Chain A
Amino acid sequence: MNALLPPLETIAALVKIGLLVGGLMTAAAYLVLLERWIAAWVQDRRGPNRVGIPLTKIRLFGLGQPLADGLKIILKEDFTPKHVDKVLYNAAPLLILAASLAIFAAIPFGSVLPPLNIPGLPDPVPFLVAPGLDVGVLWVFALSSIAVYGVLLGGWASNNKYGFLGGLRSSAQLLAYEIPLGLGLLGVVLAAGSLKLDVIMNAQAQSGIWYAFSQPLGFVVFMVASFAEAARLPFDLPEAEQELVGGYHTEYSGIRLLLFLVSEFLHMITASFLIVIMFLGGWHLWGLTGSGQEVSWAGAFIRCGVLSGKVLGVIVFFMLVRWSWPRFRFDQLMSLAWKVMLPLGIANLVAVATVEEFRPQLVEAIGQTWATLAVIAGPWALFFVSLITAGMLTPSGTDNRPIRTTRPLDGTRSHPAQSLAPHELAGTR
């Protein structure tokens, strides 16, 4: 952007940055609490409910917990092992945090404010740090790819085999899932005709049909890929505590570990924002928010609330999935990306391109209402057909156990059980 911005716009941008960074950091802290609550509730426990206002006996359902957690981890010893690459070791957490915060420059967190009529400030003021950024979506994706560097550097600089394995897994996984993520996204960009996230939201608000309804396949592909990009279960192989201790952040402690953990939550928030903005209509809700660019003050904040509510809903879904699904094996992860998600993404893209190409002719032939129904029903039919095809052709469960029923090479039967077919073997005593 232009380096010589008018001062008022700069101030507006700074205010928005302040709001956003403050809000995001608080949100990340409280999401840790939410994560622990949901983990506890799903396991029939009560979860953290003790810490309230410090120095009083007021408990507030444990809402003071983030403060206690934060203080604890900040006051902990920040230990740097002798064997690490000092420069990269220190740079990695900063890089990953900076990248995951900078993403939000292009993510709208609401619609627009009503006209303020301040001279020097173009009206209406959008809820977006960098308004008019034509490559919004590209910016988001470029920066989320840079965040991989943080993970990779952290794993490499730790000079630790677990850290290294975590970094390797992370790079392979994120590279593989960038492609279905991009394909899911391309469908939306094609339908909305813009790379600006606010324009994508407006397009959904104007038609009233969220892209999740008109592109179910793209929605599923994007959703799965963004789970993998955020390294959340069932795709949390980069940190898989049970196998890799902590993956790429094994050697980190204290405030540096905190930076990694915060940026992990920021990734989840980013993914939720993208899912909501691109597929779930952003700030739009039928009968509540309206769909135009003209808003009152109340309307502007209702739109903000609707967007945040949807994002929170998606985050809760992220957290519920964590306790519903076991982790994938790494070969299953890769086969899902390359054999299932990639073809499904391409199928979605072709379908969207076809629909967008022939929509005017369709409207002319059978009328507006029927055409709208057709462009919703068609993708859903494609969704079910391609899901069944994918399920039949590439089942995600593969049996890699050693084969037990091989006969001895010389043809002798060393034991009857050895030469029996599996179904006969099952009954043998």
Chain B
Amino acid sequence: MKPTDPAVTWLEDKPLGLAERLYLPLFIQGLSTTAKHMVSAKVTVNFPETRPTVGNPLIYRGVHRLNRDDQGRVKCVACFLCATACPAHCIDIVATESPWPDREKYPESFAIDELRCIFCGMCEEACPVDAIELTSLLDLTGKSREEMIFDKEKLLSVYDMTKDAEPMKSASLGGTL
């Protein structure tokens, strides 16, 4: 685009006023802003001792969990939609025939490599039965790469751990139960 293109709107700077030309008044203004911030309340927290507050757990994208249905079974139907949607290819599902009459398949194994995951939340969006969800757990640590591959049991245990604090999102959002 050329500078003379009619779509370009040129805005001119205002000419400098007296305070700007004298420099010192603006300097005092800037200094007072700095001084104000120096004594104002801090926005960071002392992390391990003080936990940061998660604004809205419904839209926070932390560690994954696999939800259970009302009978305590894994809700996943092994449709592979999450694995297909995943841009980081971090979800690995082995499907097998379901032992239960209400679905055809269920995941024999379901593993998420948390180190590869980019926490985009597309698996959560793709899931037709709201089985995979992102919690608001934000400190995800481990001592080895193997430890950071979360299998089905681990993901279900994350659900057991967080279900009281964070109920399944589907109910409040009008999804499947």
Contact = CB atoms under 8 A, between A and B. Distances in A.
A429 B21 contact: no
Given A324-B33, A397-B16, A423-B12, A44 B44 contact: yes
Contacts of B10: 404, 422, 425-426, 428
B22 interface: yes
Contacts of B44: 44-46
Interface in A375-416: 387-388, 391-392, 395-397, 399, 404, 414-415
A323 interface: yes
Contact of A42 (B3, B5, B22, B34): B34
A320 B34 CA distance: 7
Given A44-B40, A325-B30, A391-B22, A426 B3 contact: no
A288 interface: no
A228 B168 CA distance: 61
A42 B7 contact: no
B34 A391 contact: no
A426 B9 contact: yes
The contact size tier of chain B is 20 to 34
Contacts of A395: 16, 20-21
Interface string B1-30: 001111111111100101011111001001
B24 A387 contact: yes
Contacts of A19: none
B30 A45 contact: no
A415 B3 CA distance: 11
Given A320-B34, A397-B16, A426-B10, A46 B27 contact: no
Contact of B3 (A220, A324, A388, A404): A404
A400 to B, nearest CB: 12
B21 to A, nearest CB: 4
Contacts of A355: none
Given A324-B30, A397-B16, A41 B37 contact: yes
B27 A429 contact: no
Interface in A303-354: 320-321, 323-325
Nearest to A393: B21
Contacts of B176: none
A329 to B, nearest CB: 14
A38 interface: yes
Contacts of B22: 387-388, 391
B23 A429 contact: no
B70 to A, nearest CB: 45
A42 B31 contact: no
Interface in A359-384: none
Nearest to A425: B10
Nearest to A45: B44
B11 to A, nearest CB: 6
A387 B23 CA distance: 9
Nearest to B28: A324
A42 B9 contact: no
A335 to B, nearest CB: 12
A2 interface: no
Contacts of A46: 42, 44, 46
B13 A399 contact: yes
A320 B30 CA distance: 10
B173 interface: no
B165 interface: no
Contact of B23 (A45, A321, A396, A423): A396
A399 B14 CA distance: 12
B171 interface: no
A49 interface: yes
B6 A428 contact: yes
Contact of A391 (B6, B21, B43): B21
A46 B37 CA distance: 12
A314 B24 CA distance: 17
Nearest to A50: B46
B52 to A, nearest CB: 13
B50 to A, nearest CB: 10
A399 B8 CA distance: 20
A296 interface: no
B4 A417 contact: yes
B140 interface: no
A426 B8 CA distance: 9
Interface string A33-56: 000001001111110010000000
Contacts of B6: 415, 417, 428-429
Contacts of B8: 417
Interface in B23-67: 23-24, 27, 30-31, 33-35, 37-44, 46
Most buried by A among B11, B12, B34, B43: B34
Given A387-B24, A426-B12, A428-B6, 16 more contacts: A41-B39, A220-B24, A320-B34, A324-B30, A324-B33, A391-B21, A391-B23, A399-B13, A414-B4, A417-B5, A417-B8, A418-B4, A422-B10, A428-B10, A429-B7, A429-B9
9 contacts: A45-B42, A46-B42, A320-B34, A324-B27, A324-B34, A325-B27, A392-B21, A397-B16, A404-B3
